Amino acid sequence: MSKLYRTREGTISAVDTKTQLTTLGSETAPGPLLVPAGAKRLTATILAYATSQAVAADGSVILRLEGPGLPEGPETLVVGSQGVAVATGGHGSRSARRIELDIPVVAANEILLFAENVGEDVGDVTVGATLEFTM
Amino acid sequence: MSRTITVEGDVNTIDTRTLLTGQGSVTAPSLVVPAGMTKIKKIIVTAAADGLAAGHVVNFMRLGGNAVLNGEQVFVFGGEDSIAPQAGSDAAPSLGEFFMIDDADIDVRSSDTISIAGEAAGVDVGDQTFAITLVYGK
C-alpha cells in the first residue's frame, strides 16, 4: 500500500472567516485537490502555520475539510494557536504536526480545504495542509 | 536494509521552487536512488530563518524526478514567522526542530534520479536554510 501526498496553502486575513487554501507557492493555480485514483482512505493530515504577530491578541487556527471527496461529510481539525503581548520583536519556528486519521474518500472527487482563525484576530496567518492518501 | 541521502540549501525567495543539491562540504552528492531500494520510508526535514524580514511562511518540500513513480509528492513541514523588534532590542532565535514522517511509503525506482526541492509560501521572512534526509528501504 503506497501513499500519495497532496498539499495546498493560503493566507487568512480575517477572524472567523472560512478561507479556502487554493495555492501551492509558485503554483498559483494548481487546480482542485482531487482524491487520487485508487485512493481509499485519508490516513493523515500534516499541518503547519505561521502568523504575522502583528496584533497583540490570542487565537487558534482550525482546518475544515469539505467536498464530494468525503462521503461521510465535513471534518474539522485543530492546526495550532498563537498569542503575543506586544506586536514587536517576535520570531517563531514551528514544526508541522501529523495527525493520523482513518476517513473514507471517493477517488476522483474534490476535497476543499479551508483554514480559519478563531478566537481573537491574531493578524495574518499562513496555513499549509498536506493530505496523506493510502491506496 | 536502509540507505539515506541528506541534502540542504538556501531558500531565500518566496514562492520559488528551489532545488536542494548540496550537502555542506560535499557540493554535489549523488541523487540516484540506491540499487535495490523501492520506497522512501522516512522523511526528516528541518529549516530555520534569519527573520530579517517581517513575514510568515509555511515551508514545504517537493519530491519528484524520474525516480518518484507516482509523480511529484508535496508536503508541508513547518512554519516560520517574524516581526521586527523595537529599536535597540533583540528578537528571539529561530530554533527549527525537525519534522519526521515515520512511514512515508512513497514508491521510487532504484538507479534513477530523485529531485528534492524546497519552497516557502506566504510573506517573506528573510533567508532560510532547509535540510532534508530521505531514508530509503524496500
Q: What is the pLDDT of residues B61-80, one digit of tens each?
A: 999 999 999 999 999 999 99
Q: What is the DSSP letter of B1?
A: -
Domain count, chain A: 1
The verdict on A24 touching B (C-beta cutoff 8 Å) is yes
Q: Which residues of B touch A3 (CB under 8 A)?
A: 103-106
For residue A75, is pLDDT > 90?
yes
Q: Does any domain span residue B129?
A: yes
The verdict on A38 touching B (C-beta cutoff 8 Å) is no
Domain of B72, CATH number, reads: 2.60.120
Dist. CA A5–CA A46, nearest whole Å: 10
Q: Does any domain span residue B63?
A: yes
Q: Is B22 exposed, middle or buried (0-12, 13-18, 19+ CB in 10 A)?
A: middle
Domain holding B17, by residue range, is 3-83+94-137
For residue B120, is pLDDT > 90?
yes
Dist. CA B100–CA A44, nearest whole Å: 13
Task: List the 57-86 stretch of A: residues with Cβ below 8 A of B.
Answer: none
Dist. CA B117–CA B109, nearest whole Å: 18
Domain holding A118, by residue range, is 3-134
ipTM, interface predicted TM-score of the complex:
0.89
* Secondary structure percentages of chain B, helix, strand, coil, to 5: 0, 55, 45
For residue B90, is pLDDT > 80?
no
- Residue indicated by cell numbers 540507505: B3
- State CA B116 to chain mean position distance: 7
Q: What percent of chain A has pLDDT over 70?
A: 100
Domain of A120, CATH number, reads: 2.60.120
Domain count, chain B: 1
pLDDT of residue B48: 92
Q: Does any domain span residue B88?
A: no
How many CB pairs below 8 Å do chains A and B form together? Answer: 167
pLDDT of residue B84: 83
Query: CB neighbours (10 Å) of residue A80?
Result: 18
pLDDT of residue A12: 96
- Give A93-121 pLDDT, tens digit per residue: 999 999 999 999 999 999 999 999 999 99
* Collapsed DSSP state (helix, strand, coil) of residue A35: coil
- Residue indicated by cell numbers 479556502: A20
For residue A10, is pLDDT > 90?
yes
- Give B8-22 pLDDT, tens digit per residue: 999 999 999 999 999
Q: Which residues of B touch A134 (CB under 8 A)?
A: 105
How much is the pTM?
A: 0.93
For residue B3, is pLDDT > 80?
yes
Q: Does any domain span residue B89?
A: no
Task: Indicate the residue of A88, A125, A128 with minimum beta-carbon distance to B121.
Answer: A128
- DSSP of B62-81, one letter per residue? EEESTTBTTS-EEEEEEEEE
Which helix or strand (DSSP H or E) is residue B129 part of? strand B128-137
| Average pLDDT value for chain A | 95
